[in-house]
Amino acid sequence: MLAGEAAARFELVNEYLSHLLDRNYSPATVRAYGYDLLAFCRWLTEQDLNPEAVTTNVLLDYLKACREASVPGRPGPNVVTMDGQRVDRYAATTINRRLAAISGLFTFAGLRSPDAKNPVPRGREARWMVAGERSGMLAHTTRRRKPRSALRLREPKKLPVALSASDAATLVGSLRTWRDRAIAGLMLWCGLRSCEVLALDVKDVDIGGRWVTVTGKGAKQRRVPLDPDVASVIDVYLLAERPESTSERLFLVAKGPHRGQGLTPAGLRTIFRYHRELTGVRGGNPHAFRHTFGTVLAEAGVDLAVMQALLGHAHVDTTARYVHLAPAHVKAEFDAARERLRTQNR
């Protein structure tokens, strides 16, 4: 929530964030929107404007300011990426998320006052149907298409980056506690997100039946098969290493003043940062393990619907990105096609 001397001018923002919490939005989403709207309110204060005075032209000025702003702590304007983009600028995804937060704010204001005009212009529909949806084969996955704002920036479509087998083995091999090995195993061999791992309770893990009940984004639950090796590691952790605690969380802090409390995202990032520096595996962040799991499934030729269920994706389009990440599978199919052509031409 916004606080301070100028907070009274932006009471609408606090009401909107409370509205998102009431609608069961993720606390992480509400927190991100809060920071996005805080940046917008600070800019409005510099321009001596209130939310009621915001027009489309004002939004265009704000987006221009976002594109031209420098990010503190990054190298100067003389440092660019391989594609020529300056690294001291906000990414298009960051600016678009700020725009989404602002759009939601004024949509909420319209619910309160139907006569209020939304300064965020509506654009064309967000996405087209894929071929399978048009033909009916994937009709059950079709989402209602929503119009996006015409002010959105183009975002680069980047594929997830997976770890090589050697890098993954090196990083996992450097972990010294049963807890850390269990966490890495759940992400690498079961495909869980780091936030899903940290949210696990002891009762969510069925070691005998080898199932894990996972609560993913939007509080959606799914059951994921538990790898037998990971199940053994979790079993040892519960019997020999997990500290006594009243907390129901599976993974707890082992040392220090917070011993027995649930492991936090910051604590998990610290663990992986230490082992990245120790092993030299630069891409060894928690989410890279999940990307590696998805890539392995794609290379093994697992059905797309099964991959979607295992990874907990809301739509099959997200899962389909991993198919493009399977170079070994693609190369094998390419070589097989060439061999068939050569055989036919003989």
What are the C-alpha distances in Å from 250 to residues 30, 121, 188, 199, 223? 25, 46, 18, 8, 16
Which H, E and C letters describe 9-77, residue by residue? HHHHHHHHHHHHHHCCCCHHHHHHHHHHHHHHHHHHHHCCCCHHHCCHHHHHHHHHHHHHCCCCCCCCC
Tell me the residue type at 327.
P
Choosing from 148, 181, 193, 242, the catalytic residue is: 193
Choosing from 217, 223, 315, 321, the catalytic residue is: 217
Choosing from 33, 62, 237, 322, the catalytic residue is: 322
Choosing from 98, 148, 275, 313, the catalytic residue is: 313
Burial of 29 (0-12, 13-18, 19+ CB in 10 A): middle
Choosing from 152, 287, 315, 321, the catalytic residue is: 287
CB 74 within 8 A of CB 87: yes
Burial of 331 (0-12, 13-18, 19+ CB in 10 A): exposed
Q: Is 313 a catalytic residue?
A: yes
Q: Is 322 a catalytic residue?
A: yes
- CA 78 – CA 258 distance, rounded (Å): 43
Q: Is 217 a catalytic residue?
A: yes
Q: Is 340 a catalytic residue?
A: no
As annotated, the active-site residues are 193, 217, 287, 290, 313, 322
